[in-house]
Chain A
C-alpha cells in the first residue's frame, strides 16, 4: 500500500518536473526565436535540435501513464535529469557563454531533482550540475568554447540595451515561473503531506475509539474472569478443606491402628512373661493365661487382616468383580452357614426373599463378606429371639435387611457405628472384643456398589441393618418418561427447550411464570422443574421459594438457567444446578439426566420403612 502511494507520488513529481521542464525549454526556444527575429541572431541548428529534443522528452514525462513501477519511475527520472544536464551543457557550450541563463537552468535542474528525488538522486544530480557549470566556466575562461554564430555578435549584443533588457526580462520571468512552479510543487507536496497527516490522524482516532471499546470489553471479560476465578477459588478452598479433613482422618486412623494393634500385643506379651516368671502357678490360672494368649493372638491376626482389607479397599487396590448376582441364592447360602451357631444359641433364623427378585450388579464375594459380618454381629449380640434376613425391590434397587432382637443401638451411637475402630457395645467388657473395623469395611464395600449402609431401630426393639444394591441392567421401572416443567416467559424459548427435552425422551409441560408453575405443580406430579430466567425478570425464580412448601414438591429438583451474576443466589435458594446462558447443545438434557439420577440415588438410600420378616 505504501509502495503504491510512493509510486503515485513519484509519478506526480516526475510529471510535474516534465511539465515545468517542457515549459522552460519551450521558453528557451521562444527566446531563440526572439533573438533571431529581433536581433538577427541565428541560433545554431544543433542548439535548436537539442532544445526540441529536451522539450519533447519533458512533454513525454509530463504525460507519463500511471502504473509505472517505482524503479522504472526512478530510472526515468534520473535519465531525464541527465539528459537535461547534457543538453543544457551542450547548448551553453555552443552559445559560448555561461550566461546567467545557464546557471539559472542548472539551478532549475537541481531544484527539480530535489522535488523529484529524495536522497541520493538529488545529490548526484546536484553534483553533476555543479560540475557541468564549473567546467563550462573554465572552458570559457581558457577559451575552449568553439566559435559559434553568436560569438562575433556577442560583444555587440551585450552593448545593446535591448538585448540586455530582453535577457534580464527573460531571466526575471523565467525565474518567477520557476519559482512559482517550484513553490507550487512544494505546496502540492506539502498539501499532500498534510492530507497524509490528516488521514493518519483520522486513522489514529479510529484506532483510539476501537481501543476504548476494546478496553471496555476487556474490563467486562476481566470481571467475568474474576468471578469465575473466585468461584474456582471457593471450590479449591472447599477441596483443600476436604483434603485436610481426609488427611486428618488418615492420621487419626494410623494412631488408632497403632493403639489397637499394641493392645492385644500387650496382653500376649504380659501373659507370656507371667507364665515364664511364675512357672509354678496353679494350673487353672495357667490355662486361663494361655487361653488369653490364644484369643488375643487371634484377635490381633483378625485385626491385621481387617486393617489391610480396609486399607486396600480405600486405596483402590482391590480387584472388584462385578457380576449379575442372584440375591436369593447368596442370602440363603449365608444364612445356612450361620444356622448351626444360631441353633446353639437358641435363636430363630428367618429368610424372606421373593422368588422373582431381580438380580443385582455386585461383587458376590464382597457382598457375602458384608452379609457374614452383619449376621455375625447379630449372632454375637442377640441373646434370645430371632434374626431375620430379607430382600425386596425398591425402584431400581434391591434393599437387603438384617434384623435382630438384640439390645439395639442407642440413637446417639447410630451415627458412629460405622466408624473405624468403633466397638459396638462399649460397656460389654466381658465379651471378647471385635476388631472394630467390620462395619467400617461393610460401609466401604456397600459404598463402592453405589449404595449406603444404615442402621435403624425397629419399633419392637433390636436393630435392623440395611443397604441397597443396584438392579443389574436396570431399566427405569416407571414406564412413563420423566416429566419436566419448563418455566420461561418467552414462548419461543419454551418451544426451543421443549424440542431439546422431547428429543431426549422427556415429557414436557410449560409454564409462563412462577404463578402458573405453582398452579400446575398442584395438580400434576412433576419430576423436575427447569427455570429459564431473564435478567430483567427474576420473579420466575420464586418457584425455588415455593417448591419446598408443598408436600409433594419438596423433593423436586430445580435447574436454573440465568446470568452468572445471579448464580450464587439461585444456588442459595435451593437450585439443584445452575446453567450459564447461552446453553450448549444437549447441555440441558445432560443436566436433567444428572439431577434425576442424583435424586434416584438419594431416594434409594433414604429412610426406608422397616419390614419384619
Chain B
C-alpha cells in the first residue's frame, strides 16, 4: 500500500477526478486535483507529486502539452507522467510516448489497473 506519496489527478470531468481520487486515497496515497492543464502544471511545479495522471482533452493546456513542459524542465522531469487517452488509438499513445510520457492508460479504465500502475511507477522510482 502507498505510504502517503503525493499523486496528482488532472481531468476536466469531475466524476472521473472523484473516482480516481477515491481509489487512490483509499489505497493510502495523498491526492491533489486539477481541472485544466494550466492548473495541473502549476500544482506539479508547486507541490511536486511523484505521479501525475493527465487527461489528454483538457481546457487551457491539453495533456500532451503538460507532459512536454514537465519533461523538458529538468527540475520536474522526474515526475511520473501517465497520459489518460480516451480514444485508445495508437497515434495518441505513440505521440504521448514520443513526448516523454512514462505510461498511458485508456478510458474506460478500472481503478484496480490504476493502482497497479501507480505501484509500478513508484517502484521504478
Contact = CB atoms under 8 A, between A and B. Distances in A.
Contacts of A426: 12, 59
Contacts of A296: 15
Contacts of B15: 264, 267, 270-271, 292, 296
Contacts of B18: 292
B12 A259 contact: no
B28 interface: no
A266 interface: yes
A259 B14 contact: no
Given A255-B87, A296-B15, A429-B12, A263 B107 contact: yes
A449 B18 CA distance: 43
B108 A262 contact: yes
Nearest to B56: A259
Interface stretch (B46-54, B93-101, B109-117): B109-117
A273 B16 contact: no
A119 to B, nearest CB: 86
Most buried by B among A263, A267, A270, A285: A270
B14 A270 contact: no
A430 B18 CA distance: 12
A564 to B, nearest CB: 48
Interface string B30-67: 00000100000000000000000000010100000000
A100 B14 CA distance: 137
Contacts of A274: 19, 22-23, 111
Nearest to B87: A258
A269 B108 contact: yes
A270 B16 contact: yes
A267 B59 contact: no
19 contacts: A255-B87, A259-B57, A259-B86, A259-B87, A262-B87, A265-B107, A266-B13, A266-B16, A266-B19, A266-B86, A266-B108, A269-B109, A270-B20, A270-B109, A271-B15, A277-B112, A429-B14, A429-B35, A430-B14
Interface of A: 255, 258-259, 262-271, 273-274, 277-278, 285, 292, 296, 426, 429-430
Interface of B: 12-16, 18-20, 22-23, 26, 35, 57, 59, 86-87, 107-112
Given A267-B15, A268-B108, A269-B108, 4 more contacts: A266-B19, A269-B109, A270-B23, A270-B110
